[in-house]
Amino acid sequence: MPAKAASLVVKADVQQGRKNVTIAVVKAAVRLNPTAAVAVVGAISHADPEMASVAAVTAAMLQHKQLALIAKAAAEAASSQAGAIVSALIKEFPSSYALIAIAASEGAPQQGREILGVVADYVPALQASINSAVSSSPSGSAQAQGNVSGQVNAVAAAPSTSGLALPVQTILVQAVNQSSGIGGSRPASVVSRSSQLSEPPATPAGGPVLGPPFTPIPPVVITVTPSQTTPQTPGGRNYASP
């Protein structure tokens, strides 16, 4: 199925519109087999990198639980489009920007600077922290120390000469922690791609709070005295004597 979907996109007529064909193919494939969503996005992204972001967004809207896997597959198959993929996904799922960026960086580690630049554009509160972290990183120090925000196209046109991958997850965690003190937008969780489950409730400071000991409810005892009863004559209503 993934190979067939990619073939349909590649063969799409320009007049027909590759974007429309990509959307239709992904929808049909995912609805037919939801578990193939990641593989379909990867195949299409590899066959036609320019349609990687379209395929990723379409699949993620149908299979949101696979968002991170979809982002990684698209970026891995079309690393030159990593920035566009992250941008398109964050636009549709803004609250998941950290998850999307981290997953995409795992698929295209050499595009960390570009990915972080996209995050800085969408979350201005993190811009200063991201810029500082990128500039001080081993791969960032080899680059011009300009603001990473707004430089996505320039970076995409000129691949990094350092050959080193930026630690996107570490940089995002630091940026979020720093921005939280100035009213920055903090994601629900900054986690790696392999951990999409919600975190367990935090244990209160000082350990668990113990409640009072369990006290069983005492049984209710009712005492009936002879004065509270009414004598009954044997036989009664509808009684048939032997």
* Pure H helices in the chain: 2-10, 18-32, 37-47, 52-62, 67-77, 82-92, 97-107, 112-122, 127-136, 152-157, 168-179
Output 164 or 79, whichever has higher pLDDT.
79
Output 238 or 169, whichever has higher pLDDT.
169
Q: How far is CA 18 from the centre of its chain?
A: 27
In this predicted model, what pLDDT tens digit does every residue of 136-158 receive, in sequence order? 776 554 444 444 445 444 444 44
Residue 42: closest CA among 13, 15, 5, 8: 5
Q: Which of 11-15, 40-44, 195-199 has the lowest mean pLDDT?
A: 195-199
Output 221 or 94, whichever has higher pLDDT.
94
State the residue for tokens 């630690």. 167
Cβ–Cβ under 8 Å, residues 78 and 109? no
Q: Which of 13-22, 69-78, 100-109, 113-122 has the lowest mean pLDDT?
A: 13-22
Output 212 or 185, whichever has higher pLDDT.
212
Output 229 or 18, whichever has higher pLDDT.
18
Please tell me whether the overall predicted TM-score, pTM, comes out greater than 0.75 for this model: no
What is the mean predicted confidence (pLDDT) over 227-235? Answer: 61
Q: How far is CA 26 from the centre of its chain?
A: 20
Give the mean pLDDT of the chain: 74
At 194, is the pLDDT very low, low, confident or very high (cuts 50, 70, 90)?
Answer: very low
What is the mean predicted confidence (pLDDT) over 40-62? Answer: 94
Q: How far is CA 52 from the centre of its chain?
A: 18
Tell me what pLDDT residue 181 has: 60
70 has pLDDT over 70: yes
At 99, is the pLDDT very low, low, confident or very high (cuts 50, 70, 90)?
Answer: very high
Q: How far is CA 186 from the centre of its chain?
A: 14
